[in-house]
Structure 1
Amino acid sequence: MMSREPRQHKFKITGMDCASCARKIETAVGRIEGASAVSVGLASETLSVRLAGPERADEIRAAVKSLGYGIGADAATGRAQHDHDHAKPIEGAWWQSAKGRLVLLTGGLIAAAYLTMLIAPTVSVCVFLAACVVGAIPVVRRAIAAARLGSLFIIEMLMAIAVIGAVIINATEEAALVVFLFAAGELLEGIAAGRARSGIRALADIAPKTAMVESEGGPVETPISAIAIGQVIVVRPGDRVAADATILSGTSALDESALTGESVPRVKQPGDLVLAGSINTEAMLRCRVEKAAEDTLIARVVKLVEEAADAKAPTERFIDTFSRYYMPAICALALAVALVPPLAFAGDWSTWIYRALALLLIGCPCALVISTPAAIASALAAGARRGLLVKGGGVLEAIGKVKAIAFDKTGTLTEGKPKVTDIVALADVTEADLLRIAAAAEAASSHPLAVAVVAHARASKIVFTPASHSQVLPGKGLSARVDGRIVTIGAPARLGVTSADVLERARALEAEGKSVSALQSQGKVLGLIALRDEPRADAVQGVKEVLGLGIRPVMLTGDNRANAEAVGRALGMEVNAELLPEDKLAFIRKLAQGEGGVAKVGDGINDAPALAAATVGIAMGSGADVALEAADAAVLNNRVSDVAALIRLSRRTLRVIGENVTIALGLKAVFLVTTLLGMTGLWIAILADTGATVLVTANALRLLKRAS
């Protein structure tokens, strides 16, 4: 029988609250024969595994279910598994969930036990014991299942030992309080975990699930998955655009704030691209679908954010490794506390066993383990909502530590499109006439300078009639008949202009980094038009913000020195011009050696090597696909100021991670000491552990509120 090639399988997992949950599942699935490359994504709630045969999928489902989690459909086979209620995330009314019902039941039994103490004290012990049994059964069941599947040092095992031990030494009342507080803690962690994931899940909900597709009988509502590239969709005022598409007819303002964070709607007309998830605010549009649902910008953003949230940051990897050794160490310490004082110093067995059990509970590393991934997931979701896309927690950490940023010029610091900056009328024509003649002559040309002149004339409300007999003059420019006379347009030197005054004016404009075109008719120069690729509207402020963060901004460009230095002067930054792609790459490496962390911001194919070589590569959203793929992060709204916003988001995330680690370790240290001294008991220990977990999660959720 031929061996089958292993295939990748992906399952939906529900009920995970922290990184410890993911690790338990990875350990259990990794022990199954034929399973390899096991990876659990906490943020995306997915289990990815390579299996030699689909029959192993049933073993995986059984293992995951035995740990107390729900498991959904296998994307490879389409086979689904029913999700039990106890594993569903806490997102609706908490009392309707299994965790909520368990809290209410154990809480009710404990309240009844205290009431019974007033009436029949001897009976109250039985009621407390009943609360212990009800609350501990699911915990003990999960602990046994995890132990069988290879996970021994987990919170459920510590809980099971602590509760059983407390009952044995007649601390039944405290044992009941412990199981109640643990159940309440799991409930709170489930709610917090749902909140943390909701930021990423909200991104996926931006794009509608159906669209109105044109048909012979009129628009038909169709699921997005069934819409093919090339079909025509109708987008009514107030509707969200269902797919990345090109407008065929209609002009309207599109609100893209959900995608890019840009608060002002953008006017789009026939020929313009509209993005899935943007809102049509004014008029009906007919659009041709350009990309399948899974390839739209918002789908790519969601996928990248989920992958980034699941990828472990350096701090998280360190804490994850630390916790693997920390848990056995705590168990060994607890065993020593239980045995050494009674055996070596004639201590009271009951007292020291009690303290050892409390030590087991306070030693749980849940808060420490979740401190980093909760912050990273919140920051990634907050950034994505503003159009700041980061491809991983490691990247997010690195951005905040860069010392220098190298910016490309064209398309990054500038718009990438020339604009008319000066109109110099000579001879006997006005500026308006000069612009009208130039626009008429250039109307049929697709050259970027010609397109800019025509656009400027239209923006200035200059009425012109496209010229006839327009033709290109190789090596010179173009000529056309305007107002009954032949007009030629091109660089003064190429047209053979000899006037010293005209040439001096042209050189002065060129010294400012501008391209100069002369209009000539019958050997007479009518005037000059200067154009330049101008800095983006927010470039000055963006560079100023980078400087304000203590980071050195540098321009790297292949453009000529005059153009580059003109833009550099306007922005107040160091300029390095006339660089080839390999020169940019060498400069980045040199900068990294001198400064430490260095970021590269660019948008073109020639930026890809430097983007990949930098500590962090940041692509402009309008850039080439290869630049977006090579980069570690992207600013989808093409704002230079968003680079500084990305750095601030990173630094704020690092600060929150530091606060979380301090909270987690600080509380552990305090209560470990007080537990050893006998100042805190079992229920205080579990309350401190749960409290620390909730505190670090709540602190991480603050990052969801804003991205800069």
Structure 2
Amino acid sequence: MSDATTLDQPESPLTRLHVTGMDCASCAAKVETAVRRLPGVEGVEVLIATETLTVRHAPATSVETIAATVRGLGYGAESPDKASGLTEEAAERSWWQAPKVVLAGACAAALGAAYVLGHVAPTTAHWAFLAAMTVGLVPIASRALSAARHGTPFSIETLMTIAAVGAVAIGATEEAATVVLLFLVGELLEGVAARRARASIRGLTGLVPETAVLEWDGGTETVPAASLRVGATVLVRPGDRMPADGVVVDGESAVDEAPVTGESVPNRKTLGDPVFAGTINGDGALRVRVTAAARDNTIARVVRLVEEAQEARSPTERLIDRFSTVYTPAVVAVAALVAVLPPLLAGASWSEWIYKGLAILLIGCPCALVISTPAAIAAGLSAGARRGLLIKGGAVLERLAAVTMVAFDKTGTLTEGKPVVTDVVGFGRTERDVLSLAAALEGGSSHPLARAVLAKAAEAGAPIPPAAGAAALGGKGVTGRVGGIDLFLGSPREAATRVAFTSEQEALIAGFQSDGKTVAMLLARGTAAGLLAMRDEPRADAKEGIDRLAAAGIRSIMLTGDNGRTAQAVASTLGIEARAELLPQDKQQIVRELQAEGAVVAKVGDGINDAPALAAADVGIAMGGGTDVALETADAAVLHGRVGDIARMVELSRRTLANIRMNITIALGLKAVFLVTTVAGITGLWPAILADTGATVLVTGNALRLLRS
């Protein structure tokens, strides 16, 4: 639906319009076809999710000409700024004041009056039903003529108009009026379903508060959240929503991330922890440094990328679109043959077979078939986004269902990306003493291993005494004095140059290192006082996530640049194969080798060195908190760092494809049933329109079930 190359040309004017009333891909196709035919138009992009029309055109083509063309098709078209004001006015109106509701209500009232008048004065029934039909048919016929004039002759409105006029011609005026009303009600229900699907993702924007408490010049000021700049510091009080993405610079509190991540348990946030816009602060005040402008925060990026993704058409959707371009004219031809051949060849009743032909025309309306796939794709993408699973388009969503192998990076993907102290051993001292002395030496360091020691000391409640003369020895360790005791904390190799280890101590060090752990030896007064073992541990849900993939028939493998011993230790914990000490090009080559063996590969990573492999994989998935390069290169993203979300993403894809297959079966199955019953003379015009309208509502409702999954 887009022409990216022309839209990117800088020399021509670019016009954006807010288009209302588009409920499905057929609507967008009509708008695109009509606008593309205008003189001077170079490129057109129609986004249903954002109700946006973007046109690259020559200077001589006026904006009003483009808007008038869209309005002629029966849709609203305004500039985004003006549309914003109109949207606010529309929100203040009651639902029953919407144009489609008013039209359907007027037609229903006219039809009800015609039935009453027909009973009171039977001779006027024909004209009463004709008038009732006209109330609804005139707008429909007007849109049909406009669509035909602008390049879409076989629109649903055209088929509806032909059927209604034909019914009047053979004397079925009452049915013609009923069919028109049912069509309008069907359109109304389609609009309701489309708005619900659209609101499911756009409603995320409402999570971000309108105002924020900004700290500056020693005081605070309430300002619009959209005005916050990167680097600003905001105060978030208990119960308030985070006004922006940021990092905690002061305070500690439990933050409810359920509105953004779906996580049911609040996460404890303290100094240095990231927070997301729209999440809810719990029991303590937080000072937060803003790390992303309003247009770039997590929620804005999710909404923007999902809206764009909903326009990236899946293979099934493209196939259905191509099929429908042939299908609709074929239906018209079949209906014409049914209407004329039996009377011409077998002397059958003209009125009977014309009636059946008109019913087939209504049965053949492609709305339900055309909307069956995009409705499910949009619902699937939205459902994923609300749970932190960002999938960039229907094509990616379909490919995910076929994945047979997932290749994981290690650091920051299967593991937390930061070391933690796993073991503390004292030699003649308690573990608490070892932690206290080690933490005293590391107190002024920002090294990841130092932070791990300090975090462990805080967790154990070990006191941290002041250290004198602390000095770092590059690549070897750190020295200092605590309470008059000379201390050293560093690598076993450097420690071995200072003291002699016992055989038991050497065996202990070797055992930890064979488990892929980094060992720091603590020396006090020239003797071994203890050791600390550290490792970047697997994420809490890593094993469960791997097992969930295995249960779905998907193998897992670890591809990492880390050393083989560490990689094998983590992989054995998770029960997967590991390939280690890889360069970025090595990861890419392994992905291609797996593909050559017949695997459909998803690559999961979070760093720049994963970008080549992410691009080479059938599906590249960036892990939450990853670099912008990984996020841009990837086809999908797990925004909240849960390994189990990879399996959930595949499961969502498979549920969506199953939903699409069910929708297509409903759309074509109902048409097949009513086609047979119509030709057999069992059903007539109004069941025919119910077959189309009912199928459209059923497939849309079925697709919306994905939002609740």
The TM-score, its normalising length taken from structure 2, stands at 0.94
Secondary structure of residue in 2 paired with 1:201: helix
Distance in 1, Cα, partners of 2:42 & 2:84: 21
Q: Deviations over 1:548-603 (max 9, x none)?
A: 11100111111111111111111111111121111111111111222331101111
Q: Shift of residue 175 of structure 1? A: 0.5
Alignment partner of 1:686 is 2:689 = yes
Closer/same/farther in 2, CA of residues 535 and 65 from structure 1, 3 Å limit: same
Distance in 2, Cα, partners of 1:566 & 1:607: 21
Q: Percent identity?
A: 54
Secondary structure of residue in 1 paired with 2:494: coil
* Unpaired runs of at least 5, structure 2: 1-8
Secondary structure of residue in 2 paired with 1:153: coil
Alignment partner of 1:32 is 2:73 = no
Closer/same/farther in 2, CA of residues 373 and 4 from structure 1, 3 Å limit: closer
Match of 1:545 among 548, 552, 558: 548
Alignment partner of 1:458 is 2:458 = yes
Secondary structure of residue in 2 paired with 1:386: coil
Counterpart of 1:473 in structure 2 is 473
Q: Deviations over 1:107-150 (max 9, x none)?
A: 22222222233322111111101111101011011011111111
Distance in 1, Cα, partners of 2:483 & 2:459: 22
Q: Shift of residue 405 of structure 1? A: 0.4
Alignment partner of 1:485 is 2:488 = no
Q: Shift of residue 216 of structure 1? A: 6.6
Distance in 2, Cα, partners of 1:592 & 1:134: 60
Counterpart of 1:9 in structure 2 is 15
Distance in 2, Cα, partners of 1:456 & 1:289: 28
Deviates more, 1:645-654 or 1:332-341: 332-341
* Unpaired runs of at least 5, structure 1: none
Q: Shift of residue 233 of structure 1? A: 3.1
Closer/same/farther in 2, CA of residues 289 and 569 from structure 1, 3 Å limit: closer
Closer/same/farther in 2, CA of residues 545 and 271 from structure 1, 3 Å limit: closer
Alignment partner of 1:670 is 2:676 = no
Give the letter for the 1:387 counterpart.
G
Secondary structure of residue in 1 paired with 2:487: strand
Counterpart of 2:5 in structure 1 is none
Q: Shift of residue 430 of structure 1? A: 1.8
Distance in 2, Cα, partners of 1:455 & 1:30: 62
Secondary structure of residue in 2 paired with 1:417: coil
Closer/same/farther in 2, CA of residues 203 and 92 from structure 1, 3 Å limit: farther
Q: Shift of residue 36 of structure 1? A: 2.4
Q: Shift of residue 53 of structure 1? A: 2.2
Deviates more, 1:415-424 or 1:111-120: 111-120
Counterpart of 1:133 in structure 2 is 134
Distance in 2, Cα, partners of 1:81 & 1:459: 51
The TM-score, its normalising length taken from structure 1, stands at 0.94
Counterpart of 2:630 in structure 1 is 627
Distance in 2, Cα, partners of 1:529 & 1:216: 45
Give the letter for the 1:418 counterpart.
P
Residues 269-668 of structure 1: pairs in structure 2 closer than 5 A:
269-426=270-427, 428-495=428-495, 496=497, 497-499=499-501, 500-668=503-671
Q: Deviations over 1:634-681 (max 9, x none)?
A: 111111111111111111111101100110111112222222333221
Q: Deviations over 1:429-460 (max 9, x none)?
A: 22221121111122222222222112101110
Secondary structure of residue in 1 paired with 2:536: strand
Distance in 1, Cα, partners of 2:500 & 2:418: 30
Distance in 1, Cα, partners of 2:591 & 2:285: 48
Contact 2:201-2:386 at 8 Å conserved across structures: no
Give the letter for the 1:69 counterpart.
Y
Counterpart of 2:25 in structure 1 is 19
Secondary structure of residue in 1 paired with 2:535: strand
Q: Shift of residue 218 of structure 1? A: 6.1
Contact 2:659-2:702 at 8 Å conserved across structures: yes
Contact 1:371-1:657 at 8 Å conserved across structures: yes
Counterpart of 1:182 in structure 2 is 183
Secondary structure of residue in 2 paired with 1:494: helix
Give the letter for the 1:616 counterpart.
V
Q: Shift of residue 11 of structure 1? A: 1.6
Q: Shift of residue 344 of structure 1? A: 2.5
Match of 1:60 among 34, 58, 66: 66
Counterpart of 1:151 in structure 2 is 152
Q: Shift of residue 161 of structure 1? A: 0.8
Give the letter for the 2:532 counterpart.
I
Contact 1:361-1:689 at 8 Å conserved across structures: yes
Alignment partner of 1:204 is 2:205 = yes
Closer/same/farther in 2, CA of residues 31 and 276 from structure 1, 3 Å limit: same
Q: Shift of residue 73 of structure 1? A: 1.3
Deviates more, 1:487-496 or 1:190-199: 487-496
Closer/same/farther in 2, CA of residues 15 and 80 from structure 1, 3 Å limit: closer
Closer/same/farther in 2, CA of residues 349 and 81 from structure 1, 3 Å limit: farther
Q: Deviations over 1:210-246 (max 9, x none)?
A: 3333467964443334333344433232222222234
Distance in 2, Cα, partners of 1:166 & 1:242: 59
Counterpart of 2:54 in structure 1 is 48
Secondary structure of residue in 2 paired with 1:205: helix
Deviates more, 1:267-276 or 1:538-547: 267-276
Aligned-residue CA RMSD (Å): 2.2
Q: Shift of residue 284 of structure 1? A: 3.2
Q: Shift of residue 31 of structure 1? A: 0.6
Distance in 1, Cα, partners of 2:435 & 2:350: 98
Distance in 1, Cα, partners of 2:452 & 2:387: 31
Distance in 2, Cα, partners of 1:518 & 1:82: 67
Q: Shift of residue 626 of structure 1? A: 1.0
